[in-house]
Amino acid sequence: MKALSYLSLLLVLMLSACTSQPKLERVDANKEIELTDKWNARDSREVAEAMMDDMLSFPWYLDFRMSRDDAMPRVIVQTIRNKSHEHIPVDTFINDIKRSLLRSGKIDFVAGGAERDEIRDEKLDQELNSSAETLKALGQEYGADYALTGEINSYVDSLNSKRVTYYQVDLKLIDILTNREVWIGQKKIQKLMTR
């Protein structure tokens, strides 16, 4: 009986030694790593950069600059909806868009939604608690000239060991004063995964 117990213990130890332990490796955040055909950081960045380059090449931009003494247009990002089959962190995509445009030096952004509400709360707090020299008064916000909105769609097609995942991002820029759509952009990504 004792020998059987030792044998069982030895077997358990051998089996636990044979099981592979997960390996963790830190990698450069800029290194591209794709494990699946799902939307990833590279997709987000590449789509944002391509679409914003396209947006700035349309006539609305030069028309605005010429009519406003070379002032930069102010943009507010409204809703970009994820209508795809998977969870896509839309906030990360929006930040990639903003980063691309701000880096260009051709667009100013104004805060919207919850960010704007938080800033307004801060200004109200300053009205009560800040010195006159450092107070940021209410009613001094810049208004947006344009609103950026859009959606991300996808579909998946598979047969046997192959799967194609297709993403389509549609964005539009709307002149807030006139409600005129001044730019409509579209970017497609298609990924083939074989098992």
Q: Render pLDDT for 140-163 as a digit per residue (tens, 0 to 9).
A: 899 999 999 999 999 999 999 999
Percentage of the chain lying above the pLDDT 90 cut: 71
Strands, E assignment, 83-134: 108-109
In the predicted model, what is the mean pLDDT of residues 101-116?
Answer: 92
Residue 109's alpha-carbon distances to 14, 97, 144, 150, in angstroms, are 61, 11, 8, 17
pLDDT of residue 20: 64
Cα gap 135→133, rounded to integer Å: 6
Q: What is the spatial distance between Cα 26 and Cα 116, in angstroms, rounded to a whole number?
A: 36
State residue 104's pLDDT score: 92
| Mean pLDDT for the chain overall | 89
Max mean pLDDT range (127-131, 133-137, 181-185): 181-185
Q: Is 116 helix (H, G, I), strand (E, B) or coil?
A: helix
Can you tell me the distance from the alpha carbon of 106 to that of 72, in angstroms, rounded to the nearest whole number?
6
What is the rounded distance in angstroms from the CA atom of residue 128 to the CA atom of residue 140?
A: 17
Location of structure tokens 């009986």: 1
Question: Has this prediction a pTM greater than 0.85?
Answer: no
Going by the DSSP 8-state scheme, the letter that residue 113 receives in this structure is H
Q: Hey, what are 82's tokens? A: 């994820």
Residue range 160-174, pLDDT digits in tens:
999 999 999 999 999
pLDDT in tens, 31-86: 777 778 899 989 999 999 999 999 999 999 999 999 988 789 999 999 999 999 99
* CA 35-38-41 angle, 5° bins: 80
